[in-house]
Amino acid sequence: MKTKEVNIKDDVRKAAMELACPTVKEMSLADVKKSPVKVMCTTRAQIASAEIPREVLVKGVQTQIKEVQLKEGKERVKLTLWRDFSKIDLPVGNWVQFSNLTTRSYQDEISLSTTSRTTIKVKYNFF
């Protein structure tokens, strides 16, 4: 069966691409703290502290998480690493680039959380 060529307007194509692959803004930790919840972002920060991985109950399933404290200058933000991301070794003092994180709020404090699209690149020095 032969099909006809489909012409899609550029504005419709761009809107569809933004829905399928949204643009993720790079943000400083200061900007993250001012951000509304459920905003996807990319950030670079230094690991200030890291907890031991632990399990929490999510919808009746034991799920592994690890919380780390990120710092950039005087700013600090908590990041929760979910599932396989909780197994990644992030030594205190290392600089790390995180892509495709999402902002969350708990007890009026903005934090970050990994998503299924998160990527993590450990760097020793960005300068």
40 touches 102 (CB < 8 A): yes
45: its two tokens: 């920060």
Query: Whole-prediction pTM value?
Result: 0.81
Q: How far apart are CA 15 and CA 114, in angstroms?
A: 25
54: its two tokens: 């632990």
Output the CA torsion sign for 101, 45, 52, 35: negative
Structural domains of the chain in order of their starting residue, each with its CATH number = 24-123 (2.40.50.140)
- Residue whose entry in the numeric block shows the structure tokens 């933000």: 77
One pLDDT digit (tens) per residue for the chain, 127 residues: 778 888 888 888 888 777 776 778 899 999 999 999 999 999 999 999 999 999 999 999 999 999 999 999 999 999 999 999 999 999 999 999 999 999 999 998 999 999 999 999 988 655 4
